[in-house]
Chains A and B, each alone.
Chain A
Amino acid sequence: MAHCLLNQNSKVGDGAHCAGVYSPVVDVLRAKGWRIEQMPCPELAFTGLNRFWAVKEQLDTPAYRQHCRRLAAGVAEMISVRAGQGEEVALIGVEGSPSMGVHITSSDPARGGRPEWPEGTAEHVSGEGIFVEELRRELDERGLSVRLGGETHALADHDEATQSQQITAALDDR
């Protein structure tokens, strides 16, 4: 599970939807009988709590990739232990995130400079965030696969019931 789903304090400024634990996703996982394991927040330690909102291109530097790869290796080792015990693993990310998106990330190749841009910029595109890409690479190297689901607050059409249905479907997949 993405770090911020248990700890909204890690969110970029103006991004915390609640005080701490985002219960709707926790509730779905528990109702389906899944253990919860929290991943690190790749942006938190690298760009800090006072970071600006960013799109994937702004974060996609060799140094950030290296940081994500280091964190992803730790997560992949934990997943490897669980997979070795015969457990299924699902990755619950954050749709629209430049780091944690699993189906939708954010992209705007032109964004940069003074942090002002028009409302409604169409930045959400199909694809994975940088950390998720690096985690997938680590899992591929270990011959592991996971199910994918995402929290959808950042998307314009966010609806909690739909979000729960989509995560449930991801957990029930296979």
Chain B
Amino acid sequence: MKPDERSFRIALVADRYVNPADGEVDGLAVAAKAGWGVMQLPAADYPAAVTAPVLATIAEELQEFSRHGYDIVQVGDCTGLATALAAAGLSAPDRMTPGTDAELLEYLRARPAPPVSTWSWLAKDQG
């Protein structure tokens, strides 16, 4: 079986970088290049009543990643995220707002390796 290739790195990415307008930073392409997973933050045009439960779900998922030592960063802004994270007992992750693809790529690649994971069977398989 092909080994599990996860990176243990996750970027919370504002919608404007997931669905970029022409000339804007392409967060998905950069994350793919850097080997980071993406959790998309809801678009700014959704009503707060729609985004609140979505952000609560994102916070639930982040609780699970966080307790396993995954590295988590935020790329761009998202109204309501800090409140949802606080309600889940999580502090706000490191955040950056990129001006260019290169700037985002450099930021993601410069992050230190995440804490040792508890995934002992993967470590064994991958030597």
Contact = CB atoms under 8 A, between A and B. Distances in A.
B22 to A, nearest CB: 12
A73 B57 CA distance: 11
A73 B37 CA distance: 24
Interface string B79-122: 00000000000000000000000000000000000000011011
A50 B117 CA distance: 11
Interface string A13-51: 111111111010010000000011110110011001110
B39 A7 contact: yes
A78 B3 CA distance: 35
Contact of A19 (B1, B36, B63): B36
A19 B37 contact: yes
Contacts of B122: 13-14
Given A45-B60, A49-B65, A74-B53, A9 B42 contact: no
User: Interface SS of chain A: helix, strand, loop or mixed?
Assistant: loop
Contacts of B5: 8, 16-19
A140 interface: no
Contacts, number: 117
A77 interface: yes
B29 to A, nearest CB: 8
B43 to A, nearest CB: 8
Interface in A93-124: none
Contact of B37 (A21, A50, A74): A21
A17 B64 CA distance: 20
A59 interface: no
B75 interface: no
Contacts of B7: 8-9, 19-20
A35 B54 contact: no
Interface residues of B, number: 43
Interface of B: 1-10, 18-19, 28, 31-32, 34-40, 42-43, 46-47, 50, 53-54, 57-58, 60-61, 63-65, 68, 70, 118-119, 121-122, 125
The 9 closest A-B pairs by CB, nearest first: A7-B37, A19-B35, A20-B37, A16-B6, A19-B7, A21-B32, A38-B40, A45-B60, A9-B37
27 contacts: A3-B61, A6-B28, A6-B38, A6-B39, A7-B10, A8-B5, A14-B1, A14-B3, A14-B125, A17-B5, A19-B9, A20-B7, A20-B9, A20-B10, A20-B34, A20-B38, A38-B38, A38-B40, A41-B61, A49-B64, A49-B65, A74-B50, A78-B42, A78-B46, A78-B50, A81-B46, A81-B47
Given A14-B125, A36-B40, A45-B61, 15 more contacts: A9-B10, A9-B65, A9-B70, A14-B1, A17-B2, A19-B36, A20-B31, A20-B34, A21-B32, A36-B18, A40-B57, A48-B64, A74-B50, A74-B53, A81-B50
